[in-house]
Amino acid sequence: MKITVVGTGYVGLVSGTCFAEFGVNVVCVDKDREKIKKLKKGIIPIFEPGLEELVKKNIKEKRLFFQTNLSESLNGSEAVFIAVGTPSRRGDGHADLSYVYAAAKEIAKNLKNYAVIVNKSTVPIGTGKEVHKIIEEINPQLEFDVASNPEFLREGSAINDFMRPDRVVIGSENQRAQNILKELYRPLYLLETPILFTKRETAELIKYAANSFLATKIAFINEISDLCEKVGANVSDVSIGIGLDGRIGKKFLHPGPGYGGSCFPKDTLALVKTAQDYKSPLKLIEQVVDSNKKRKRSMYRRILKAIPKDNSNKIISILGLTFKPNTDDMRDSPSLDIIPSLVKSNCKLRVFDPEGMLEAKKNFLKYDSKITWCKNAYEASENSDALVILTEWNQFRALDLNKLKKLMKRQIIIDLRNIYNPREIKENGFEYHSIGRSI
């Protein structure tokens, strides 16, 4: 089987490579010549554990190819995946579909044989229908179908999420399209992965509803953690206690400084907008969006509150800049709110992130004079008034507390990911602030 994947970002590159690993012949296409040149050599533009090895392996085994010429890449392809970016549109929060429509137009002009055009990118409800219309208008003679096959990949575990998914969702309009996609995902049958075949609009809504529900769980436990602080409860035990109910489930109930990333913030906003357009507002998700925004701002105030008041400029250490561990992605990371606020409160910052330093520097150029970019957590803690854990990278989970104590000016730790045991930290002579766990 041969397929084309248009777009080599997180979704396109991971999907294309994993399909190749399934034994499919895959051509990944991108307009970015530089990127394609690097990909042909197995040089990956993103940090995604295991991806580089898998790309190199499938290039070597001649199942994975990269090129900039869409027309050539389409020859003989039975499925053409559109996996281009769908960022939030400036100003109104709707998904920007210009890249999706541009890809659809180019496919319409160049496709010579029947193929299923598959929206892999997260696209608003009704986009599949719109893509079908665009292609039909440009090339009325063409035989094709349009399907929806949303991805549920988490950054940092994208390969595992693709190879061992909880489910595959396919929205298609006829048996012919369904059969091609069924064949493509055949390797998952061995894992007995549930494959849901449904209408296109239903598949499109499933993606938004899934992300919005997960975002709701996070906003919920973040607000519960605030209440725990007020009533003297322990949010970690609340998470365990409710998560043991099979109807709730224990995942995505870890309180933190607010969710970030390239999906939750964008997808919740896009779904809220779509619902408003259809006069069926999603009030709950509107509250989730608002709650999350407020959460990031409240974290900055919490840090300031933990630092002794005197008129000297404070040095604050920040461990973790990316929106989550095992990625270099800074999109909507809480650090993008917290760092500027601390700088504006006359704090000097010493920061470290295992993978995100390069990406982070691009986001904090105007604060550069107030930020020292450090090589590790200990260098970041030198002479600091407080150390903030913002992203729960594994290497921050067992820091040498004695070493930290000697390096820091004040022994204050503000753990916004609850990765430490409060008792252990206090026994080591630190003032310890975490979330939802008054000791």
Spatial CA neighbour of 299 closest among 393, 388, 423: 388
Site for ligand UDX (CB under 6 A): which residue of 197, 213, 252, 367? 252
Binding region for ligand UDX (CB under 6 A) out of 106-114, 224-232, 246-254, 350-358: 246-254
Residues serving a catalytic function are 263
For the chain, helix, strand, coil in percent to 5 are 45, 15, 40
| Least spacing, CB of residue 251 vs ligand UDX, in Å | 7
Q: Please say which residue, 211 or 381, places its beta carbon nearer to ligand UDX.
A: 211
At 114, the amino acid letter reads: Y
Residue 412 burial by Cβ neighbours in a 10 Å radius (0-12, 13-18, 19+): buried
Site for ligand UDX (CB under 6 A): which residue of 13, 107, 253, 371? 253
DSSP letters for 5-36: EE--SHHHHHHHHHHHHTT-EEEEE-S-HHHH
Spatial CA neighbour of 73 closest among 118, 30, 43, 39: 30
Q: Please say which residue, 214 or 360, places its beta carbon nearer to ligand UDX.
A: 214
Spatial CA neighbour of 338 closest among 388, 407, 377, 397: 388
| Least spacing, CB of residue 215 vs ligand UDX, in Å | 7
Kindly write out the interface string for residues 206-235 of this chain, putting x where it contacts ligand UDX by CB under 6 A and - elsewhere.
-----x--x---x-----------------
Binding region for ligand UDX (CB under 6 A) out of 19-27, 151-159, 164-172, 187-195: 151-159
| Least spacing, CB of residue 214 vs ligand UDX, in Å | 6
Q: Please say which residue, 267 or 385, places its beta carbon nearer to ligand UDX.
A: 267
421: part of which helix (H) or strand (E)? none
Residue 287 burial by Cβ neighbours in a 10 Å radius (0-12, 13-18, 19+): middle
Q: Please say which residue, 21 or 151, places its beta carbon nearer to ligand UDX.
A: 151
3-state secondary structure of 342: helix
**How many Cβ atoms from other residues are within 10 Å of residue 343's Cβ?**
19
Kindly write out the interface string for residues 260-299 of this chain, putting x where it contacts ligand UDX by CB under 6 A and - elsewhere.
xx-xx-----------------------------------
| Least spacing, CB of residue 385 vs ligand UDX, in Å | 25
Q: How far is CA 313 from CA 310, 347, 352, 378, in A?
A: 8, 6, 20, 20
Site for ligand UDX (CB under 6 A): which residue of 38, 94, 129, 154? 154
**Who's near 107: CB < 8 A, 6+ residues apart?**
6, 70, 74, 80, 82, 117, 135
Q: What are phi and psi of 333, to 5 degrees?
A: -70, 145
Binding region for ligand UDX (CB under 6 A) out of 179-187, 250-258, 358-366, 373-381: 250-258
Q: Please say which residue, 111 or 388, places its beta carbon nearer to ligand UDX.
A: 388
Location of structure tokens 């007995």 = 192
| Least spacing, CB of residue 33 vs ligand UDX, in Å | 28
CA–CA distance, 350 with 356 (Å, rounded to integer): 14
Binding region for ligand UDX (CB under 6 A) out of 40-48, 153-161, 174-182, 365-373: 153-161
| Least spacing, CB of residue 261 vs ligand UDX, in Å | 3
CA–CA distance, 7 with 11 (Å, rounded to integer): 8
Q: Please say which residue, 384 or 434, places its beta carbon nearer to ligand UDX.
A: 434
CA–CA distance, 359 with 72 (Å, rounded to integer): 34
Cα of first residue to Cα of last residue in the chain, in angstroms, is 59
Site for ligand UDX (CB under 6 A): which residue of 47, 99, 152, 208? 152
Q: Please say which residue, 193 or 372, places its beta carbon nearer to ligand UDX.
A: 193
Q: Please say which residue, 314 or 324, places its beta carbon nearer to ligand UDX.
A: 324
| Least spacing, CB of residue 161 vs ligand UDX, in Å | 7
Kindly write out the interface string for residues 299-338 of this chain, putting x where it contacts ligand UDX by CB under 6 A and - elsewhere.
------------------------xx--------------
Spatial CA neighbour of 120 closest among 90, 142, 91, 152: 152
Binding region for ligand UDX (CB under 6 A) out of 110-118, 129-137, 149-157, 346-354: 149-157
| Least spacing, CB of residue 312 vs ligand UDX, in Å | 33
Q: Please say which residue, 176 or 397, places its beta carbon nearer to ligand UDX.
A: 397
Binding region for ligand UDX (CB under 6 A) out of 42-50, 150-158, 293-301, 394-402: 150-158
Which DSSP state fits 412?
A: E
Return residues touching ligand UDX (CB under 6 A): 151-155, 211, 214, 218, 252-254, 256, 259-261, 263-264, 323-324
